Amino acid sequence: MRCPVCKADNPQGPQCRRCKADLSLLFALEEQRQQTLAEARRCLRHGEWQAAVKHAETANWLRGDEESQQLVAVAHLLSRDFAGAWRCYQSWRATRRIGCIVLL
């Protein structure tokens, strides 16, 4: 977990190891996101495509990364929402493009 105050990486909470900021809410949010991702995967395993889309989008909204974007796209594909999957792909591409610009 990256501290929003001093930018230090913190593998454990609830306080930042450097500046002692209280990160407990951020750790709780990340835990909720992990549970939501797990629920999305469970729904995919059981063929519950619409529920998988809902959970994956919620996790992606909490904090979007490649893993959550992939889950959203796969859930859209399996629910035969090809336009939704295409939007995920475009969003992912835009994110990567911005990331490349930042790195340059």
Binding site for Zn ion (CB under 5 A): 3, 5-6, 8, 16, 18-19, 21
* Paired tokens of 5: 């105050």
For Zn ion, the closer of residues 6 and 94 by Cβ is 6
For Zn ion, the closer of residues 23 and 43 by Cβ is 23
Q: How is 2-54 classified by DSSP, letter by letter?
A: B-TTT--B-SS-SB-TTT--B-HHHHHHHHHHHHHHHHHHHHHHTT-HHHHHH
Considering the complex, what minimum distance in angstroms separates the CB of residue 61 from Zn ion? 25
For Zn ion, the closer of residues 13 and 64 by Cβ is 13
